Structure 1
Amino acid sequence: MTARSPATFLLCHGAWSGGWSWKKMHPLMAKAGHRLVAPTYTGLGERSHLAGPAIDLETHIQDILNVIRFEDLGDVVLLGHSYGGMVATGVADRARDRITQMIYLDAFVPRDGQSLFDLNEPGREPMRGAAASGDGWRIPPNPPPPDTPQADLEWLNARRIDMPIKCFETRLRLAHGEPAMPRSYIYCTRIPPGDVFGQFARRTKNEAGWRHFELDASHAPNVTAPEALMKVLERIVAQPSPSSHLVQ
């Protein structure tokens, strides 16, 4: 399906990653007539020289707010992937007038006062232990999905950066409650053991105000299934305001 008008997608990327990991999506977005703005958070990717123990979720929310401000972005489709769902939710709370809709891609969907560790209890102690075994504040990357092609695996592993633990410990504070704009959730159905995102798939299937989509891909479709991901994104922006409880 072709969107009725060009969209500006603003990415909030996942943990250990960066805007660079969405490289395959740029030509697909351009071909569809859309724009993908893919910044990298402080302390990761090309900004890894800024890494430090004080970086937290609030730092990354401010990173994206500053992109909106200095790039003068409006009518934004805010796209949060994985950890980026934490960031996107905070951004939407503070820049509501700039955002037309939100898309969560296999992402955390926090409520007010929740941290990522609150939403991923099984991962809390292992990640804290991994940080403690080093310098106390860095969490090494989780492995990429097992179906990642070898060339992509090498490309990812050469670029992924340890995450500051405070990013996962910070409790999100929302001044305005649940985001008021249209929201869609894309659930990747090639589920790994201990799937943490199933809770959000169930929630968005049953909670008013959501569109729910399922994608036959593993957790990083921007790398392993970019064409399939682009098709779903096009469907969403072509019909941004459907009835609630829509499962596709």
Structure 2
Amino acid sequence: MTAFVLVSGPFTGGEVWREVAARLEESGAEVYPATLTGLGERREAGGPDTGLETHIEDVVRLIDGVEGTELVIVGHDYGIHPVLGAADRRPERIARIVYLDAGLPQDGDAAVQLVPDEEVRRRLLDPADRDGGTGWIDPPAADGWQRWGSTAGLSEEALARLTGLASPQPSATFTQPLRLSGALATVPTSGIFCTESGMSIAKLEGLMTLGMPQFKALADPRVSFFDLDTGHWPMLSRPDELAELLLGAAAGEGHRLAAAPAQELPGYLRPFVLDVPEQTRERIGRVDLYLPADPDGAGAAGANPADAAGANPVDAAGANLAGAAGAAGAADTAAAPRPAVLFVHGGPVPETVRPTPRDWTTYVGYGRYAASQGVIGATLDHRLHSLADYPLAAADVAEAVELLRADPRVDGDRIALWFFSGGGPLSADWLSAPPSWLRCLAVTYPILAPLPGWQGVDSRFRPVDALAGAGRLPVVLTRVGLEVTEIAATVEEFVAAAEARGTDLQVIDVPHGHHGFDTVDPTDESRAAVEQAVRSVLGHL
């Protein structure tokens, strides 16, 4: 016999599953809807100390109370956090975990990172104003639920019921990090996308083509996916259909993603499209500098050479970079300073990925090519490891800029910033208020607005909106004709906004190019596009 444990999203308890539970029980399954401490009829049991750990223990007790059968455990939205925490402690009891319109939290992640309501997320992240001192986050009013997820498919009656069932949630349940031991690595999983929330199987498969390492695990044969054409509360909008999908998941059904051939290198590790010579590379903390050769052949911009593998010691903490840069360049301040281009990688890239982005062939290639053209190329490893890390990554970029401008070999008044892929949102800070020394901003196959399912990204990181402050800053955009549909939509929105505002925008098209064309499409078209983009950027320096 199949038994289901159902854990709902924020502000709601077990009652929200009523129709789904009835349908599952009609099929012969056992059903255990969870009401977590501080929610629903258990409101009085919660308090300011109620956190994620409390909710994990709630689910563990529920699991332990079901005898003799393995469980399918379902987490909706926030509910996936206590589901994963509990399953990690009882993996032998779990037949399958179902992610219902939920994120993919990892060890150390807190639910606040994916809170879609930006105002609430900011308050939770600010210790001085976490919850107004109450220890609780109030649920939205009837007209505010769309800020927490799509309300598509909800009748007025269902929306009124959702509002009536909702209760405040203890703040610490959002801010305590999830701790996982790795015990769930072999537990089968299923994902159910509520397509009106912005994600679907087809869109996921499109994102899979980018070759990012965090997607590899989703091609495991133990992982299946379903689409459900409704909004974020399917237990109220489509309960019968949801019950059918949960039964299918329990039976091991669902769509499987195709894995890339084992021998195939990910796109970011394939050879760069241009055959560029090696250049002296100097590593300072999170930043690598590619230095042009001295015109007299005496070395690279008067620097002590570092080998191409970046053998200089890495300052992992990235501390005091400006001072380190000044020391590195002190050996030769007589040479005329040169302009510089900082290449900013995309992401999110999991922290454990090796090699790190600055050693990917894409960025090594651009850095070397810039140096071969007589300017200083710079790359960095910024800390965009999750969608919540854009502010941290933005700080890393700003720090790298200061490093460059402090280096005596660099002309601090002639800098270009060049953003790639998921690094595109980081361009917003520089577009919104470009400093005088920023001579050009470039973006290549960029994401220029949050993608579907990216509700946790701060609205500060919307280059489309930031164009309002760009003024006369030249922008060089390289776009590919075979782009992922969702990414292409953000690029077209950006182009339309730039045209409407009179932005100095140059568009370089690669009609037959894919995302990552500069390594995955070794064609004359690709080579010409890279050369044209570099020529354009350097022309502004």
1:211 aligns to 2:218 (yes or no): no
Partner residue, 2:107:
112
**1:60 counterpart (34, 55, 58):** 55
Q: How does 1:95-106 map to 2 (within 5 A)?
A: 95-106=90-101
- 1: CA distance between counterparts of 2:94 and 2:83? 10
Cα deviation, residue 72, structure 1: 2.9
Given residue 168 of structure 1, which amino acid in structure 2 is its aligned partner?
A: F
- 1: CA distance between counterparts of 2:156 and 2:113? 33
Partner residue, 1:3:
none
* Contact in 2 for aligned 1:204/1:245 (Cα 8 Å): no
Cα deviation, residue 235, structure 1: 1.7
- 1: CA distance between counterparts of 2:57 and 2:203? 27
Cα deviation, residue 97, structure 1: 1.2
1:28 aligns to 2:23 (yes or no): yes
Partner residue, 1:227:
240
Given residue 178 of structure 2, which amino acid in structure 1 is its aligned partner?
A: L
Cα deviation, residue 108, structure 1: 2.5
Q: CA 1:179–1:162 in 2, change beyond 3 Å: closer, same or farther?
A: farther
The answer for unaligned runs of 5 or more in structure 2 is 208-214, 259-541
- 1: CA distance between counterparts of 2:97 and 2:185? 9
Partner residue, 2:175:
169
1:245 aligns to 2:251 (yes or no): no
Cα deviation, residue 10, structure 1: 0.7
Quick one: higher RCO (CA 8 Å, sep 6+), 1 or 2? 1
- 2: CA distance between counterparts of 1:204 and 1:235? 23
Cα deviation, residue 207, structure 1: 4.1
* Contact in 2 for aligned 1:81/1:104 (Cα 8 Å): yes
Partner residue, 1:69:
64
Q: SS in structure 1 opposite 2:72?
A: strand
- 2: CA distance between counterparts of 1:200 and 1:177? 26
1:47 aligns to 2:60 (yes or no): no
Q: Over residues 204-230 of structure 1, what are the superposed CA-to-partner deviations in whole Å (9 max), with x where a residue is unaligned?
A: 894434212111011110111011112
Q: Over residues 63-110 of structure 1, what are the superposed CA-to-partner deviations in whole Å (9 max), with x where a residue is unaligned?
A: 011112234363000111111111111111100111111111001221
Cα deviation, residue 154, structure 1: 1.9
- 2: CA distance between counterparts of 1:200 and 1:119? 18
- 2: CA distance between counterparts of 1:214 and 1:23? 22
1:190 aligns to 2:196 (yes or no): yes
Partner residue, 2:133:
135
Q: SS in structure 1 opposite 2:165?
A: coil
Partner residue, 1:125:
122
1:152 aligns to 2:149 (yes or no): no
Q: TM-score, normalised by structure 2?
A: 0.40
Q: TM-score, normalised by structure 1?
A: 0.84
Give the aligned length: 236
1:90 aligns to 2:88 (yes or no): no
Q: Percent identity?
A: 29
Structure 1 vs Structure 2 CA RMSD: 2.9
Q: Structure 1: which 4+ aligned runs deviate by more than 6 Å?
A: 198-201
The answer for unaligned runs of 5 or more in structure 1 is 1-5
* Contact in 1 for aligned 2:124/2:131 (Cα 8 Å): no
Moved more, 229-238 or 21-30: 229-238
Cα deviation, residue 127, structure 1: 5.0
- 2: CA distance between counterparts of 1:73 and 1:156? 34
